[in-house]
Structure 1
Amino acid sequence: MKVSDSSSSTSSLGNTSLRGFSGLASGLDRDALIEQLTLNTSNKIATIKQNITKQEWRQEAYNSITGKMLDMEDNYLSYSGKTSIVSNDLYRKSVITANGNSSSASLLKATGSSAVLEYVSIKGVSQLASSAYYTSQSFEVDGKNASKSTKLADLGFTDDKLSGMTINGTSFSVTSESTVSDLVNAINSSDAGVKATFIESTGSFMFFDKDTGESSNVELNEEAQNMFGGELTAGKDTIMYVSYGGSDPVAVKSSSSTVNVDGLKITASGVFGDIQTDSDGKVTSFDASASVSFTASANVDKATERVKNFIEEYNKLVEEVNTAVTTRPNKDYTPLTEEQEDEMTETEIEKWNKKAKDGIIYNDTEIRDFSDTLHSMMTSILGSGISYSDLKNIGITISDDFADGGQLQFDEEKFRAAMETDSETVEKVMCGSDDSKGFGNVINAKFTPYATRYATRNGNSYGRLIEVAGSDKLTLTAKKNQIYNQIESYNEEVKKWESKLKTEEDRYIKQFSNLEKLINSMNSQANYLASLSA
């Protein structure tokens, strides 16, 4: 595909009403002549616009790189990141498993501190926490159980009774014309702290305390008790029998289904253990075969997936930067002018621009410096106190091919094995210790001078790359960067040269118009003289 000289441009004459009209008297193509006379100025404008396009492409290239860096900082290299690789908890033995008789162990789930696992076992659970609830008498209307659509008046609830009744000290805005369903909804939407329901099969109301445990309660005042009848069933605590270091089990109570044993939170979903106690509550016998103990392990799958994903994202960044500093620009491909684009299809323009963008930041000092930093990243990691053998043993090494730009290699099987057998070393390598900063922290520290979301950590700078091009992820930098300032300067130049072009065109139009008038006058005189001689 052949493209005309990139210095060509379209004259502003294209927007005048005179375009296409030749000098009728002179026979000259006025517009074509003016375009030639103003070509130097038009070319100057086209060149500046090409420079603007180059700066915009540079900015896109920078933003692509810094965007990846900021995403890694947010997601992987921040302690609060959802997929953080620098959080110690990721590598610690946080997955707690209940062991023992399957029918017993399946009823217990544990989370929290693993410090007490070695000396704590559960011998049984005699009851689960439940809430206090009040069951009313059965209500009938015409010999049939009342329904949710029954009016309260049909239950004998007068306006006076309804206005005087309270549950847990709360009154409700209903009348005798309200339905059973209206009363249930009024109770549930109030702050009485109870859950109301109506059982149509028995014609009874039930009111449940929203809390569980022995201290839960549903308190009806005298008016309400007279209206509803029925009785209160007390709430219960969970009772779990815990043995410490093989000692006799003791009862530990909780108002919920979860019992806290020195930071180990054990949740029961059923009873087991056949616990027998005396009148003082002391355990006299229990089924030893139902005993449940706990062990902790690291979440190998979770840690492996996170580190693997991080290294993949890191290598994508390295590849992009390495390509940027090793791809030379093709001087045959420059930004297209408007006139050139008018001669091409969308597909042709897209292909051209792709080639023209190649090498757009090849000579940029900041990008080359960052590339050098990535090349030497492994040296920095080892210089932080992490031993090469530890790093290799958990499956992280650097590519042997220098042309890769410093990409990391990840052996998933080695990492998994290390997590299963020595997660403490993995944690030390990834997060650091008294003797080292840690793998993730070193990378973050090397990224920060070039791009960071936290300017306060970097001398009030968002990083050298962002100072050059800003970042579409940091709104404050949109107009505070070198490329933006350069583009603004170019835009001012365009305005200046476009004004100059218009002045030139207007001058030439006036001159050609005067020429036309002069020729017309001369033609008139010649015609007059010719008529006299005739």
Structure 2
Amino acid sequence: MADMRIGGLASGMDTDQIIMDLMKAERIPLDKMEQKKQYLEWQRDDYRDMNKMMFDFSNLIFDGVMKHGTYTQKSVTASDSSKVSIQNINSTTDLSGTIEVGSLAKAATIVSEDTGIVDPKATLSTSMGLTGTQKISIKSILKDGTLDATGKTIEFDPATETLNSLISKINQQTGVSVFFDEQSKKLSVTAKNTGDAAGNDIVLEDLSGTFFETLRLEETPVNSANTFTGTRQEGANASFTYNGLTTTRPSNTFQINGFEITLKGTTTTPITFSSKPDTDKILEKIVKFVDEYNKLIEKVNGELNEKNYRDFKPLTAEQKEAMEEKEIELWEEKARSGTLRNDSVLSSAMNKMRVDLYTPVSGGTSGTDQLSQIGIKTSSNYLERGKLIIDEAKLREAISKDPNAIYEIFGKDGATSGEQGIARRLRETLKDTMDSVEKKAGKASSTNNTFSLGRLLNNMDNQIDRFEDRLIQVEDRYWRQFTAMEKAIQRSNQQSMYLMQQFGGGM
């Protein structure tokens, strides 16, 4: 049973207020612990913000200046784009010349006579009189212009299968597309790939049953009375003359020297074409890299040099109650300042990144091995702490002259750091830095015991819990002492009243 607490009834003192004031003094060490805990949490969050920014920058490097495809972007022009279109796929060199289109590639088709089918939604046993398990084979031309010797097989039960459902299966599972026209009652079969396979480009066969034979679409039916009566149009290859060389392709879209060419129509006069680096798109990626690099080093250097206001400690809950919201915001802005000041990991990263940028890239084939050669240099203003500046005219000229040389500066791979491109070096430095920061501050999914600041926070929580238990004991002790005093005063008062009564009674 808890001791009864007696206020200042006998002494006339405000015992509650006195004990509250005494406890304020006792709480000072606890307030300092909570302030330290808050500061550690701020520091942890600021480290994580740094890691998030470095992670985003590393991804931007990977998707931008380090990717070979960034530098193969080209603008291609053709004198008649309605007949021929050309786009670069993976070529690092340019192309130019003429092309004449003699004929376009066509897909093979087979069209049946009137099938007599009235309702394509009825079962095939009803609409075509088929019985027993049916198994069909469909062979068609492949993308490379050869016939698929294996083909695709489909098995079905006429009692449950309809023409519509079978057509759906054929269209999904084979290299042909089938269409039934309810108006003419005819069935068309079209190869999905164009080209001439030097023979039948579509081969329809009944492996069991008589589906194709009944439609008179099978070349070698069992019943000779049901011989093929459909209309067959074999596929055709595209024929064209490229820079004086006449050749063919099974498709109207094909690649030559890393460029994709699409034939759209026949020509009567040669079409001229040429390509050149898409300077604007390549420049855009490099400018984005420089902008984000500048933002990163500005942020990190700002944190490293941010002033630490030692007189501004994190506010306690009691202090916040006595302040306006704007006052709290301004106070905490200074209290939080300098959490990463002079941090060795971040400082080392800044130094290493500068080395990454300005160490020449060795082993290249272009003779270009430094950023300054393509118009990127460091700001002469020392206050900007290594900010990169772009000479756009010089960079454009370098891109137009040799995009591959730009790629080697940024993305070249190599066995040593000196042989690697700047982008690869930077990503390695960023990775090492993020790993070190994570050991200090963890990440959102980390538990406290897996990183150093988290272990400190756990320790602080334990200290706070122990001290709060101690404060409860101290407060109880104060109350016991004041209660004892009140009881003593009360007894003294009672004795005084008794004596006064005794003295008064004898007069």
TM over 0.5: yes
Kept after mapping to 2: 8 A contact 1:167/1:192? no
Determine helix, strand or coil for the equivalent of 1:468. Answer: helix
List per-residue Cα deviations over 1:117-161 (Å, max 9, x = no partner): 47x86443423142x4443444668xxxx466x535797334627
User: Is the contact made by 2:413 and 2:421 (CA closer than 8 Å) also made in structure 1?
Assistant: yes
After superposition, the Cα gap between the structure-2 partners of 1:492 and 1:322, relative to the gap in structure 1 and judged at 3 Å, is same
Mapped pair 1:325 → 2:304: yes
Say which of 376, 396, 400 aligns to 1:420. Answer: 400
1:280-337 CA deviation, whole Å, 9 max, x = no partner? xxxxxxx6x3255x54432322221111111111111121122223332233422100
Equivalent residues of 1:65, 1:321 under 8 A apart = yes
- Report if aligned partners of 1:114, 1:296 keep a CA contact under 8 Å in 2: no
Give the corresponding residue for 1:469: 441
Residue identity matched to 1:430: F
Question: How many angstroms does 1:52 deviate by?
Answer: 1.0
C-alpha distance in structure 1 between counterparts of 2:130 and 2:498, whole Å: 117
Given the alignment, which residue of 110, 120, 126 partners 2:103? 126
Aligned counterparts of 1:500 and 1:516: Cα–Cα separation in 2: 24
Match status 1:492 vs 2:486: no
Q: Does the C-alpha gap of structure 1 residues 123 and 481 become closer, same or farther in structure 2, counting only changes over 3 Å?
A: same
- 1:253 and 1:323 map into 2 onto residues whose CA distance is 61
Going from structure 1 to structure 2, the CA distance change for 1:505 and 1:272 (only over 3 Å counts) comes to same
**What does residue 422 of structure 2 align with?**
439
Asked if the contact 2:448–2:458 (Cα under 8 Å) also holds between the matched residues in 1, the reply is no
TM-score after normalising by structure 1: 0.74
In 2, are the aligned partners of 1:212 and 1:236 still within 8 Å (CA)?
yes
Instruction: Provide, for residues 467-503 of structure 1, a one-character-per-residue CA deviation record: whole Å limited to 9, x for no partner.
Output: 332344xx56864332222222222211221121112
TM (normalized to structure 2)? 0.77
Paired residues of 2:448 and 2:455 also in contact (CA < 8 A): no
CA RMSD in angstroms comes to 3.8
Identify the residue that residue 13 of structure 1 maps to in structure 2: none
Report the Cα offset of residue 36 of structure 1. 3.4
Kindly state the Cα deviation for residue 73 of structure 1 after the two structures are TM-superposed. 1.7
**CA shift at 1:418, angstroms?**
1.9
- Secondary structure, in 3 states, of the residue corresponding to 2:156? coil
Q: Taking structure 1 as reference, are residues 513 and 217 closer, same or farther at Cα in structure 2, changes over 3 Å only? A: farther
- Kept in 2, the 8 Å contact 1:128–1:257? The answer is yes
Is contact 1:333-1:352 (8 Å) kept? yes
Residue 442 of structure 1 deviates from its aligned partner by 4.2
Look up the match of 1:239: 238
Query: Which of 478-487 and 57-66 deviates more?
Result: 478-487
In the TM superposition, 1:52-451 aligns within 5 A as 52-76=37-61, 81-83=62-64, 85-92=65-72, 94-95=73-74, 97=76, 99-100=78-79, 104=83, 106-109=84-87, 111-113=89-91, 117=95, 122-130=99-107, 132-138=108-114, 146=118, 151-152=122-123, 156-158=127-129, 160=131, 163-164=133-134, 166=136, 168=138, 169-173=153-157, 175=159, 181-188=164-171, 191-215=173-197, 216-217=201-202, 219-221=204-206, 223-229=210-216, 231=230, 233-243=232-242, 246=244, 249-254=245-250, 256-261=251-256, 263-264=257-258, 266-273=260-267, 289-290=269-270, 295-373=274-352, 377=354, 381-385=357-361, 391-432=371-412, 437-451=420-434
Between the aligned partners of 2:35 and 2:368, the Cα distance in structure 1 is 49
Is contact 1:330–1:358 with CA below 8 Å preserved after alignment? Answer: yes
Whether the aligned pair in 2 keeps the contact of 1:385 and 1:437 (CA below 8 Å) is yes
AA of the residue aligned to 1:127: L
Stretches of structure 2 that go unaligned for 5 or more consecutive residues are 139-152, 218-229
CA contact (8 A) 2:356 2:422 kept: no
Query: Which letter does structure 1 place at the counterpart of 2:319?
Result: Q
Residue of structure 2 in register with 1:282 after alignment: none
User: What is the aligned partner in structure 1 of residue 147 from structure 2?
Assistant: none
Counterpart check, 1:503 vs 2:497: no
AA of the residue aligned to 1:128? A
